[in-house]
Amino acid sequence: MARLLDSVLGHKNQIQNLLQSYEGDHLPQTFLFVGPSGIGKKQVALGLAQALLCETSKTACGQCPSCLRVAKSSHESLRLVLPEKNLIKIEQTRSVLDFLSLRSISKNRVVLIDEAETMNPQAANSLLKILEEPFPGTYFFMTAPSPTHVLSTLRSRSQIIRFQPLSLEQMRSLSPAPDWALRASLGSFERLKEFQDAGEVEARNDAQIFLRSLLQDPQGYTRPEVRAGFKERSHGLSLARHLSLLLRDAVFWQAGERTHLLNPDQSELLAEIAQRPSASILHWSEKALDLERALKQNRDSALVFEQFWIESQNS
């Protein structure tokens, strides 16, 4: 088995700088890795855990028993904390403190808190003292979408490392997914996986039907093939997301910025939307975002789409 860091796509500068810091014995003990989900932040943290716990090399050999156990997330000196039902509770962070109170049999110990933004305030506050003065040889890695997603008290105790979305070329190198899905994923394999789901593909098709009806038929809202797209709130949420993406593309199309399109295969539809006044397209885009917010608040799907249709017809 190779080193975990060798399987990371991109982020070479961050990895090189972190390894050099460790080799030079000046690696900080608490990190906050920030960037979009699904781009490899957690994999980088696990790769560094491999290096910190490796028995033979400060850059991780990938072959020793310690490296193999880290790769399986079963190393006795590695504690992995993941959200349960989108939440990290105080019981989980207290288990980290219990883990650190035990005598270590390794030269280092590593705690990885994935999606640290899901820690409730009690869970986060329970870690403040240990993050302020971590035990020697103890390293913390936290991941989050951005620094502002975590408590300021956690940010102030962490070395922040920023990770950028993967490039379209990097995504293409590992995935045979359709071009629109690769583009719409915006450099995230997590988003790419979502876009390849059959329900998501159906929602994209429904979004195209919805927009064509909106453009061509003032009464199109009553058509069964249009209304079918938002009978269920979960499908309606996906439909709203694709409406936002298509309308975003229409803005770029109207501006002549074709290289930034996320749905280049929908050029005919985008050209038709772009014939509308720019103020109307921007208004539709804003209302599509309002659609997503309303559905996330569990509002009735049919009612919010009807409101979107009426307001769009009047713009």
Sequential pLDDT tens for the chain (315 residues): 579 999 999 999 999 999 999 999 999 999 999 999 999 999 999 999 999 999 999 999 999 999 999 999 999 999 999 999 889 999 999 999 999 988 878 889 999 999 999 999 999 999 999 998 899 999 999 999 999 999 999 999 999 999 999 999 999 998 999 999 999 999 999 999 999 999 999 999 999 999 999 898 878 777 877 776 677 788 889 999 999 999 999 999 999 999 999 999 999 999 999 999 999 999 999 999 998 888 888 888 888 888 888 888 776
| b/e per residue 65-82 (b: at least 16 CB within 10 A) | ebbebbbeeebebbbbbe
The answer to whether residues 227 and 221 touch, using CB atoms and an 8 Å cutoff, is: yes
- Which residues have C-beta within 8 Å of that of residue 146, sequence separation ≥ 6? 34, 35
Residue 32, Cβ density class (10 Å: 0-12 exposed, 13-18 middle, ≥19 buried): buried
pLDDT of residue 300: 83
pLDDT of residue 222: 78
The answer to whether residues 145 and 164 touch, using CB atoms and an 8 Å cutoff, is: no
- Matching residue, tokens 């500068």: 13
In whole angstroms, what is the distance from residue 81 CA to residue 115 CA? 9
- Matching residue, tokens 């957690």: 42
The answer to whether residues 64 and 125 touch, using CB atoms and an 8 Å cutoff, is: no
